[in-house]
Structure 1
Amino acid sequence: MAHPAVISPAARRWLARLAFAAAAAAVVLILTAAGIRGSAGLLLTGAFGAAIGLAGAWVFLSRRGPLRWLAAVVVVLVPAAVAVLYVRHHLLWAVIALGLLWAAALAAGRQALADAGDGPAEYETPPPRHPYLIMNPRSGGGKVDRFRLAELARGLGARVHLLDGPAVDVAELARGALADGADLLGVAGGDGTQALVAEIAAQHGIPFMVISAGTRNHFAHDLGLDRENPARCLDALTDGVELRVDLGLIGDRTFVNNASFGAYAAVVQSPAYRDDKTGTALDLLPDVLAGTGGPNLRLSMDGETIPGPRAVLVSNNPYATAGLAGIGSRPRLDLGVLGVLVVTVRGAADAARLISGRGRARSVTARVATETVIDADAPAVPVGIDGEAVVLPTPVRCSIRPGALRVRVPRYRPGTRSASPELDWTRLRRLAMPSRRS
């Protein structure tokens, strides 16, 4: 398996120091540039422009009608006006250099804090003799046909069932295949279909195989599979290894990625979401950010209760995150815990911090738990389960099934790369200048 390169403690220490050096150089540069032009007002103008831009972004997301589009104009024009001002004062070079230095500081800092980690243990097992693969020709814009997946799989000895309609019961197909002697179940399709078949595979203790033919392929990504060329996933049929990974459980339903409540679930629940994801999200965000887009939630986990969250994301193992917008990959799928992200927005300041990617400390709470309960002041709540919209009666209980699923993957695959971590300057300082006692 291709794991991320492990960074030595000494290298991490020097990367942390480089981050601080680049940040300090950025401050010195802008102060020197302002001194050269003799105008500290330019610094204030830049800071004021950034504040106006964030306020405009908040109004754009939280309002409808003409005010929203006026805010969009502000978001575009204010940075442009500040840039023109700096150009007229011959300071564009300073802005560019400032951006490069901050980019270097962020990159070095995140690399220093990144946790390479090892993936799940690999087990040597013989290739399947009677693999059965369910493929959705419509998934991922037609990847099954474009990459000739059915033809290639049959050439490797697999039985292939092509889904020919939306009403097909894939779980029943999987049970029928097991009754006919299948010793591996696989899916080329979306994460929701994968979860249904993975549940059957886990119940019967046989290996499951993922073919990255969906649109987003989140589960495939976190298994380290090739998302650009799903045909490479078929290598698992002839030269593969097995992983033991966890499964999430919401009520009596399995999920491989996550279950979402509140803001994101309300967006997914809209009938227009599949056809216009961006437009639907923009239309519903004002209500969910204002707290009027659905029932009031209450989250309980490990003896802790969080009242009134705007959004809750419960995942099969925790995500590496960098604020609300930075939900990325799961470095591990075998930790035996749920990841829990809770979003609370108590005003425009919190919302602006979230939009800018700086809101995690105040507005996004990250936890791990083995069980969560989401209740509401309503008999049922909308839930997004692996991107599928459902409505479940309250309270909704989520739990983890450690090591429940045997997944067969190619021996040689791209591997996972952790998402960039949130830049914690306090932790970075301790890394750059460790105490003598440590």
Structure 2
Amino acid sequence: MEPPAPGAGPDRPGPHDGDPGAGRIWLARAALLGGVLVPLVAAGLRGVLWVLLGVAGLALTGAGLWWTLAHTGAVRACGAALAVAAPLTVLGLYATHGMLGPAVASLALVLLAVAAAGRVLSPRSRAGGAAPAPATAPRHPWILMNPHSGGGKVGRFHLVERARAAGARVTVLTGRQDVTALARRAVAEGADLLAVAGGDGTQALVAEVAHENDLPFVVIPAGTRNHFALDLGLDREDPAAALEALTDGVERRVDLGFAGDRVFVNNASFGTYAAVVGNPGYRGAQLRTALHDLPELLTGERTPRLRMRSGHRRAQGLQAVLVSNNPYRYAVGPGRGHRGSLDSGLLGVLCVHVDNTVQAARTAGGRKGGLTRLTGTEVTVDADAATVPVGIDGEHVMLPVPVVCRIVPGALRVRVPRGRGAPRGSRPSADWHRVLHLARRSGPVWHHRPHTTGG
């Protein structure tokens, strides 16, 4: 009898067992190898120089961006010019010497490797996870709606009228009302489901009340970004579709993050970003406010340097710490960061320490530089100050230090429309460390589990 394939077993299929994951592993390896070989085939050993030229262009672009963000006046102008000129020069040299085509082909193959590896490494592609439970229709649903979120999506999509037609009691925010108090009053008056049509910050406040009372929670993506809705698999371009969860929904349990006693559904951001968000002018002029504040925040003394500890990991002198409810994965392209899962029981942690041009160039050139990524169930953020600015799902607060961030697995009952809330964990993401790790492995990766800490 033929022996089983290496690594195969009751829970570890071999490469010939018909599982598509094995094919994706080999596709990732072949595409990554092709991405390396294309410049070598096109230019021989000179292909190595072309690769190094591309890396140098990235490093110079990173240095230019650092000067743009961390300085003002002539230095900022020179940095902006360098950030634009470096990539254009590299592309021009590629085109002049007939290497633009091979460079594009090499990049396409590397992206294919990323996509294939991301599918294999996705928790939900390796293990399907528990199917969402069917949910009975609520008798007294309550929905809080912010008419100003997302440029007026509540009015544009007629959400108030549609929600009331579905049998929900609707409260429309007017002015600076206490969102938490409104949600608790709704529960006291008999609400058996809580929902929010608004931004992530408002959703987090109502989600906390739903968690306290073990009530189902519905997200209606009527905000500007709605990262939580995105990672739940909801259509942010059609917020009215989320109302179907009231009459034909399924329920799943997702994790909640806590920063001190404050709930976050997406992340808690400490340091630079939180300080920018705290500027009263940020809401009206985000880019201008950020460019005005960042030089002092990155290189001056306005924001206290942070310390972080999680298990045996320590970091200090940090400019920013981002703690997320489940780890984010960052795909190629702007705005493509997402979470592969909302029920891993782990916090994601991103620490930033970039003090000079060299570190900025190292980071942009593909090396870790000033970025540290890890995961854990508890993270403590401290500083040499009594309080620190924190962005809780984009809302600015000041919290006393040290701030203990933790995750509560399965804390929130989320209801989504049947067939619409597909978990985003099945979508590929670009994790270069894992792609290279996958390429080096001699067999399929079937027993990968997230670590409590990691680089």
- Give the TM bin, normalised by the shorter chain: 0.7 to 0.9
- Post-superposition Cα deviations, 1:307-334, rounded to whole Å, max 9, x if no partner, equal 2122111111111236998771112112
Tell me the distance in 2 between the aligned counterparts of 1:419 and 1:178. Answer: 39
Number of aligned positions between the proteins: 419
Kindly state the Cα deviation for residue 7 of structure 1 after the two structures are TM-superposed: 4.5
Give me the whole-angstrom Cα distance separating, in 2, the residues matched to 1:236 and 1:17.
Answer: 43
Q: Deviations over 1:375-402 (max 9, x none)?
A: 1111111111100111111111111122
Q: Secondary structure at the match of 2:99?
A: helix
What secondary structure, in the 3-state scheme, does the structure 2 residue paired with 1:209 have?
strand
Gaps of 5+ in 1: 1-5
User: In the TM superposition, what is the alpha-carbon distance from 1:348 to its structure 2 partner?
Assistant: 2.2
Q: Which of 280, 287, 290 pairs up with 2:296?
A: 287
Counterparts of 2:158 and 2:397, CA distance in 1: 33
Change (3 A) 1:317 1:43: closer
Q: Say what the alpha-carbon RMSD is for the aligned residues.
A: 2.8
What is the 5 A alignment of 1:346-425?
347-355=356-364, 358-359=366-367, 361-413=368-420, 415-417=422-424, 418=427, 420-424=429-433
TM, length-normalised to structure 1: 0.87
The verdict on how the C-alpha distance between 1:366 and 1:104 changes in structure 2, with shifts beyond 3 A counting, is same
My pick for the range that moved more, 219-228 or 274-283, is: 274-283
Give, as a single letter, the amino acid of the residue that structure 2 aligns with 1:158: A
Alignment correspondent of 1:208: 217
Which runs of structure 2 are paired with 1:36-435 in the superposition (5 Å)?
Answer: 51-81=59-89, 83-84=91-92, 89=96, 91=97, 93-114=98-119, 115-118=121-124, 121-165=131-175, 167-290=176-299, 292-321=301-330, 328-345=337-354, 347-355=356-364, 358-359=366-367, 361-413=368-420, 415-417=422-424, 418=427, 420-424=429-433, 426-431=436-441, 433-434=442-443
- 1:45 CA displacement: 7.2
| Identity of matched residues, % | 48
> Per-residue displacement from partner, 1:25-65 (whole Å, max 9, x unpaired)?
12332448x79xxxx99998777655544432332222111
TM-score, normalised via structure 2 length: 0.84
* One-letter code aligned to 1:397: V
**What residue number does 2:40 align with?**
27
- The one-character-per-residue Cα deviations of 1:149-184 (angstroms, maximum 9, x if unpaired) are 11111111111111121x211212112222222110
CA displacement at 1:100 relative to structure 2: 2.8
Q: Deviations over 1:231-266 (max 9, x none)?
A: 110110111011111111112211111111112222
Q: Distance in 1 between matches of 2:303 and 2:132?
A: 44
Mark the runs of 5 or more structure 2 residues left unpaired by the alignment: 1-18, 448-455
Report what 1:3 is aligned to: none
- The aligned amino acid for 2:280 is P
Would the aligned equivalents of 1:236 and 1:410 in 2 still touch at CA under 8 Å? yes
CA distance change for structure 1 residues 46 and 9 in 2, over 3 Å: closer, same or farther? closer
The 3-state SS of whatever aligns with 2:327 is coil
Distance in 1 (alpha carbons) for counterparts of 2:114 and 2:410: 33
Change (3 A) 1:107 1:280: farther
